[in-house]
Amino acid sequence: MPRGAGVGNADTLQQRARFFGYKRSYLGYCRVFLEEDVKDAFINYVEHEENIRQQLKTYRGKPLFEWKRAFFLDNALKPTRGDVLDLPLMTGGFSNDWYVPNYPHDSDEDAINKNREVVDTFWSQLTALNEKIFGKISVNKHLFATDIPLRDTFEQLIVKFRTTHPSDSQRFTGLMLQVQHYLEQNPDELCDIYLMDKGRHRPRTITKSIGRLNLFQGRNSKDPDKYPGDRQIVVKDKLTIQIHKLNLQVEAEERDIPNVSVIAIWIPQKMEHDWVSQNQGGVV
């Protein structure tokens, strides 16, 4: 096959893979010669297709709207031509990076109440609460739960947490896909969890000019060693969750939203994976 990978549309690549089929009786005699980039594309596509098949098995017999449209797909590939899809796609993959929600104020009252209940129930079940010594810095303003089973955290906190804004939801679904995939290979993985400011409600203003949440408190400008900033409250080689309790003021709507629970999640490099996610078309 002398042709290159082209623009990298996965559906086109699939159509060109007909040489895989209908050869079982003499498969051992078959040889396929490809350019290196095309070979890599086919290898990556196989993982994509196996992931879709597994999701179909998981959601067999369930309503289709419950199926989150998120799949593993190498960033070098696109699902199809842009004019084929009526809903926008988001590609991504967290690696040594934070998932931080931008629009928790977009949630309705029911979702806010549900998230508060999920967070409070989960935290109340944790018994290993310690003040974290962060290097030489005593970060004693937060409560810290260490070496918590990631599978339990995934099932009891992450999966149950609701995000409603399309951008937040798509990124959160991609994050869940990464964590679930890693757990399949590493079922005994542990994680660390912080209750920021020991659960005290932090005020945050959603300004008219920006329109999204600025979650993390910055470092102490006069004495950074005293407090390095929220972004640095993390265990770099482990999945780390920060639980924030917020009182939100939304300037554009002239309203206050008290006691909003928000989670920020650090994904270490060992959990990295590319994905593509599509908005559910109004269904959350």
Query: Residue-wise pLDDT tens for the chain (284 aa)?
Result: 777 666 556 666 676 666 666 777 887 888 888 888 778 777 777 777 777 777 777 768 877 655 665 555 555 555 544 444 444 555 667 899 999 999 999 888 999 999 999 999 999 888 656 666 555 555 578 888 888 999 999 989 998 898 888 888 888 888 888 888 888 889 999 999 999 999 999 999 999 999 999 999 988 777 767 788 999 999 999 999 999 999 999 999 889 999 999 999 999 999 887 766 555 544 33
Identify which of 87, 56, 88, 52 has the alpha carbon closest to the alpha carbon of residue 71. 52
Which two three-digit tokens encode residue 156?
């009891």
Asked whether the whole model's pTM tops 0.75, one would answer no
What is the domain range of residue 212? Answer: 93-273
Verify that 38 and 178 share a domain, yes or no: no
Q: Which of 51, 86, 121 is the last residue of a domain?
A: 86
Verify that 21 and 102 share a domain, yes or no: no
Verify that 152 and 26 share a domain, yes or no: no
Verify that 269 and 174 share a domain, yes or no: yes
Verify that 230 and 250 share a domain, yes or no: yes
Verify that 231 and 197 share a domain, yes or no: yes
Verify that 157 and 209 share a domain, yes or no: yes
Q: Is residue 76 part of a domain?
A: yes
Verify that 122 and 200 share a domain, yes or no: yes
* CA atoms of 215 and 204, how far apart (whole Å): 7
Q: Is residue 283 part of a domain?
A: no
The gap between the terminal CA atoms of the chain, to the nearest Å, is 43
Q: Is residue 280 part of a domain?
A: no
Verify that 159 and 258 share a domain, yes or no: yes
Q: Which of 38, 70, 86 is the last residue of a domain?
A: 86
Q: Is residue 162 part of a domain?
A: yes
- Contact between 156 and 148 (Cβ < 8 Å): no
Verify that 47 and 177 share a domain, yes or no: no
Q: Which residues contact 9 (CB under 8 A, 6 or more apart)?
A: 77, 78, 79, 80, 81
For the chain, the domain total comes to: 2
Tell me the C-alpha to C-alpha distance, in Å, between residue 49 and each of 14, 17, 20, 118, 267: 10, 12, 14, 33, 24
Strands 275-278 and 202-206: unpaired
